[in-house]
Structure 1
Amino acid sequence: MKPIIELNNLTFKYQRTDARPALEDVSLSINQGEWVAIIGHNGSGKSTLAKTINGLLLPESGSVVVGNKELNEENIWSVRKMVGMVFQNPDNQFVGATVEDDVAFGMENQGVPRDEMVERVKNALEQVRMSNFATKEPVRLSGGQKQRVAIAGVVALRPDIIILDEATSMLDPEGRAEVIATIKQIKEENNLTVLSITHDIDEAANANRVLVMRQGKLVDEGTPEKIFSAGPKLVEMGLDLPFPEKLKQSLKERGVAVPQNYLTEEGMVDWLWTSILNK
């Protein structure tokens, strides 16, 4: 399968006097239709990496290839059309007086014909289950609803890739679950590639693959099972563990024999039910 994103030996510094690059010799590839999570502590280079993919930042050295196009000054706008970004604070993305106006804004900038724009707004709001709020003011929505509207604005542009840059970090657990469920549904319906930059380990557990950043370098990658089963190693790097792994550690400290393999929340419930509660 041909990768939709390829980064080759990427290096970036915010200031040439910085002691350490924000990104240092990073190489990776992401395939069409993958959900890839990038995790790491503050300052590890996660968000910088995301901004190089759609040209918000241009690397000092190395190359960025998106959809077979190498990112450069000539094709930066065509690459950006392929990549939609949803940021941490949805309030910073709102420009319209109503929800439907806001979803339409990006298409207006791209010169999408009005009839097509109206249809795309309708479809995008349906996909994020916000059709009933089309004429509401964005400021009156809950945090989770605001973020779903922000996602609708990106989906309406019909990108090939959606980057979630800490998009759930300001939400409560209910809002976070709501947004992740929305992204899952949209990804499957549109065969999108999703890149999730996150501190939320439970969000990262939804990914097909997890990349671990540390001090501007890619230090590990693999399935959630592989990455999260190395619990103490992640903690040493200043990262959290998914709740099932925390529970396993606590049970193990109390002398309970626990499975060696990684468990999702559903897997943990099944194991507890069959192995402990039924005894």
Structure 2
Amino acid sequence: MSHKIIEVNNLSYKYQSESEVQALNDVSFSIEKGEWIAIIGHNGSGKSTLAKVLNGLIMPNAGTVKVDGALLTEENIWDVRQSIGMVFQNPDNQFVGSTVEEDVAFGLENAGVPREEMLVRVTESIKKVNMADFMTKEPARLSGGQKQRVAIAGVVALQPDVMILDEATSMLDPNGRKEVMNTVKEIKDAANLTVISITHDIDEAANANRIFVMKGGKLVKVGTPEEIFAYGPELIEMGLDVPFAEKLKYALKEKGIAVPASYLTEEGMVDWLWTSLLKK
């Protein structure tokens, strides 16, 4: 049975400093519990603004947001926010404790979690992100990937229903991005967590159940990774990245070579190339 964890209807938001610019313009969608949603779009497309509205950091000018059936209002914003954890781009901006365990405990202390339960949650969440050997270390001395895993542990300890990753891997090297996303996937699968990933990383987006494409404050496309990547040329014209196989198809098409219309993985593209070459 389906369970809509987030429902957004006709959402609009305009920053006061940009009087003519709608950061969000009549956006509507729903997300099922346990889904992984990737939100992609060029800088200024509205994706980070959308994340802030979902987490109650800013209130929309129009439209509604429901989190697990509860309408987000200024009155219940703190209650709803307990259901959504957010991991930001720069983990250094999130650290407040002098050690990893103190930092993870900070959010629990603010939430009034009893000490005995807090100690258990801190230990368990740090273990889940494979950082148990670093509990007494200073966060500032960790690598970028390790810092981001600690930031994720701080969110996991609060036991939210939804985790939002706002460009959470953009400052990491490829290995750091891979280890963080593997950690998120393990946690998501174990707890049936809903993940919303705002990203420029096409490999990260490819792991999602669905991809939302934002442009000019509007939600312009929604589909599976295969469905979205099949718009290769259109995405490239929007300044977005696409998998290598789609870039290759686009380049071949520009040279007048007929290519498959459907989405192909790199393996599929290799098979198609071999088949095409053998015919000639």
Q: TM-score, normalised by structure 1?
A: 0.92
For residue 254 of structure 1, report the CA deviation from its aligned partner: 7.7
1:105 partner SS:
helix
For residue 177 of structure 1, report the CA deviation from its aligned partner: 0.9
Residue number in structure 2 paired with 1:6: 7
State the distance in 2 between where 1:273 and 1:18 align. Answer: 52
Q: After superposition, give the CA deviation of every residue in 1:122-144 in whole Å (9 maximum; x if it has no partner).
A: 11111111111111110111101
Residue number in structure 2 paired with 1:233: 234
1:85 partner SS:
strand
State the distance in 1 between where 2:126 and 2:264 align. Answer: 34
Residue number in structure 1 paired with 2:163: 162
State the distance in 2 between where 1:155 and 1:185 align. Answer: 12
Q: After superposition, give the CA deviation of every residue in 1:141-199 in whole Å (9 maximum; x if it has no partner).
A: 11011000000000000000000000011111110111111111100000000001111
Counterpart residue type for residue 42 of structure 1: N
Identify unmatched segments of 5+ residues in structure 2: none
Counterpart residue type for residue 16 of structure 2: Q
For residue 252 of structure 1, report the CA deviation from its aligned partner: 6.2
State the distance in 1 between where 2:269 and 2:188 align. Answer: 30
Counterpart residue type for residue 272 of structure 1: V
Residue number in structure 1 paired with 2:30: 29
2:9 partner SS:
strand
Preserved contact between residue 86 and residue 154 of structure 1 (Cα < 8 Å): yes
1:72 partner SS:
coil
2:96 partner SS:
coil
Residue number in structure 2 paired with 1:152: 153
Preserved contact between residue 40 and residue 212 of structure 1 (Cα < 8 Å): yes
Preserved contact between residue 4 and residue 30 of structure 2 (Cα < 8 Å): yes
2:63 corresponds to 1:69: no
State the distance in 1 between where 2:152 and 2:231 align. Answer: 33
Return closer, same or farther for 1:22/1:253 CA change in 2, 3 Å cut-off: closer
State the distance in 2 between where 1:117 and 1:17 align. Answer: 43
State the distance in 2 between where 1:175 and 1:84 align. Answer: 21
State the distance in 1 between where 2:111 and 2:180 align. Answer: 26
1:97 partner SS:
coil
2:125 corresponds to 1:124: yes
**Which is further off, 237-246 or 144-153?**
237-246
Counterpart residue type for residue 228 of structure 1: F
State the distance in 1 between where 2:256 and 2:26 align. Answer: 44
Preserved contact between residue 202 and residue 243 of structure 1 (Cα < 8 Å): no
For residue 253 of structure 1, report the CA deviation from its aligned partner: 6.4
For residue 32 of structure 1, report the CA deviation from its aligned partner: 0.3
Counterpart residue type for residue 241 of structure 1: V
Q: What root-mean-square deviation, in Å, do the aligned CA atoms of Structure 1 and Structure 2 show? A: 2.1
Residue number in structure 2 paired with 1:89: 90
Q: After superposition, give the CA deviation of every residue in 1:195-254 in whole Å (9 maximum; x if it has no partner).
A: 011111221111000011110011111001010111100011111112332244456668
1:199 partner SS:
coil
For residue 272 of structure 1, report the CA deviation from its aligned partner: 3.3
| Identity score, percent | 65
Identify unmatched segments of 5+ residues in structure 1: none
